[in-house]
Amino acid sequence: MQRRHYEPEHEAFGEAFRAFVDKEMVPHYLEWERAGIMPREVFAEAGRSGFLGVSIPEEYGGGGVSDFRFNQILAEQIASAGVTGAGLGITLHNDTCQPYFTSFCTDEQKQRWLPGIASGELITAIAMTEPGAGSDLAGIRTTAKRDGDSYIVNGSKTFITNGINADLVVAAVRTDQGSADDRRGGISLIIIERGMDGFERGRNLDKLGLHSQDTAELVFTDVRVPVENLLGAEGAGFAQLTQKLPQERMSIAVNAVAEARGAFDETLRYVQDRKAFGKTIASFQNTKYELAEIVTEIDVAQAFVDQCIDRLNEGELSVSDAAKAKWWCTELQGRVIDKCLQLHGGYGYMTEYAISRRYADARVTRIYGGTTEIMKGVVSKSLGL
């Protein structure tokens, strides 16, 4: 279905970014997949070319535009080019981390951090999950105890995207223990910076997919963090996360539909080329019906996602609509890519074919950013259940 979602300036931005991806990312992608990380310089190059910090005000070196369609078209180009593992670092930096800085920084903090975030010199990560607390965010145990003009931070985080590359980590910490009635109370957000004493990176974790993405454990041992690094008010962390998680979930939903479409496009080409029983795979009725179903599912999901992005831009996207988009689109991604791999036969299982990487990369989207089960919990809550 012809989309009417983008204006010419979005399309032009997307084309310019695609040229960047084809030149700076595609040729090196398999090397990064083997290395388990994308070099930091790629962020700086993306920043120089204007692809980071679209929503950061111009006075701090950003694009000064508050329109998530620019983020969306970047994610779509990453998926279409088949470099999602590496591209996730960029989308996390742009879509998920930046809003915490643009919304909650004081003027002094903005001056300190926003120019580097826009230029890609400062790479960002967000650290909520701990070994003992993932879905249950209120269960986090990392503490930040006030000591004079500092907080002393102790604890550990796990599964942190950009964990190795990050310079600024938005960390969810406990500034007080909360209470049995209010487990969410006492959570605060604090920026932990590269080079602070006691801040160690653990392993770059071995994963099923997303191999070029550095996902790491972070360990904090008596890290002295100046109070000037507190983001927003003490104890406001849970509310800040609740406010920003819908955009993170839309970022994941956008990527999921774009990955499904990327897989569909590749499969459509493949089945018209590959032959069995003297005919193309495309000529079998099963193939036609499978591809007809897939393209229908993608177009329907795209319509909902685009509408959610319009609502997000208007400041009216509800937590439950973002949750619907997240679980539905990521489940769809899994279904579609599985079917597309099947249509590739044995070649689909070979890592040299992009579809096999898409298959492995897809599995986590139903888990991170809130699992499908947690998303359904959010939706059912909106029904008063």
Ligand X SMILES: Cc1cc2nc3c(=O)[nH]c(=O)nc-3n(C[C@H](O)[C@H](O)[C@H](O)COP(=O)(O)OP(=O)(O)OC[C@H]3O[C@@H](n4cnc5c(N)ncnc54)[C@H](O)[C@@H]3O)c2cc1C
Among all residues, which ones are annotated catalytic? 248
Which of 79, 81, 117, 160 forms a contact with ligand X (CB under 6 A)? 160
Helix axes of 285-313 and 237-273: crossing angle, nearest 10 degrees: 150
- 379: contact with ligand X by CB under 6 A: no
- 364: contact with ligand X by CB under 6 A: yes
- 268: contact with ligand X by CB under 6 A: no
Interaction with ligand X in 272-311: which residues (CB under 6 A)? none
Who's near 283: CB < 8 A, 6+ residues apart?
none
State the number of binding residues for ligand X (CB under 6 A): 22
Side chain identity at residue 36, one-letter code: G
Q: What residue is closest to ligand X based on CB?
A: 134
| Binding span for ligand X by CB under 6 A among 116-124, 237-245, 342-350, 369-377 | 369-377
- 218: contact with ligand X by CB under 6 A: no
What is the DSSP code (8-state) at residue 130? B
- 159: contact with ligand X by CB under 6 A: yes
Place of tokens 């005919």: 279
* Residue 302 or 356 having the CB closest to ligand X: 356
CA–CA distance, 303 with 5 (Å, rounded to integer)? 9
Which of 143, 154, 320, 371 forms a contact with ligand X (CB under 6 A)? 371
| Binding span for ligand X by CB under 6 A among 12-20, 57-65, 76-84, 372-380 | 372-380
Two structure tokens written together for 203 = 């392993």
Least separation in angstroms between residue 88's CB and ligand X is 8
The site string for ligand X over 78-117 (x = CB under 6 A, - otherwise) reads ----------------------------------------
Which of 80, 84, 91, 215 forms a contact with ligand X (CB under 6 A)? 215
- 161: contact with ligand X by CB under 6 A: yes
Two structure tokens written together for 256 = 């999921």
- 360: contact with ligand X by CB under 6 A: no
- 138: contact with ligand X by CB under 6 A: no
* Residue 109 or 371 having the CB closest to ligand X: 371
- 134: contact with ligand X by CB under 6 A: yes
* Residue 112 or 249 having the CB closest to ligand X: 249
Q: Degrees (nearest 5) of the Cα angle 137, 143, 144?
A: 120
CA–CA distance, 195 with 240 (Å, rounded to integer)? 26
Least separation in angstroms between residue 108's CB and ligand X is 26
CA–CA distance, 20 with 39 (Å, rounded to integer)? 15
Count Cβ atoms below 10 Å from residue 59 Cβ, excluding itself: 11
Who's near 52: CB < 8 A, 6+ residues apart?
43, 46, 90, 93, 94, 117, 118, 119, 120
Phi, then psi, of 203 in degrees rounded to 5 = -70, 150
Least separation in angstroms between residue 97's CB and ligand X is 9
Q: Is residue 136 within a helix (H) or strand (E), and if so which, with residue range?
A: none
Instruction: Return the closest-CA partner of residue 21 out of 93, 70, 71, 86.
Output: 86
CA–CA distance, 204 with 161 (Å, rounded to integer)? 10
Which of 46, 79, 128, 281 forms a contact with ligand X (CB under 6 A)? 128
Count Cβ atoms below 10 Å from residue 327 Cβ, excluding itself: 25
The answer to whether the CB of 182 falls within 8 A of the CB of 151 is: no
Binding residues (CB under 6 A) for ligand X: these are: 125-129, 134-135, 159-161, 207, 210, 215, 364, 367-371, 373-374, 377
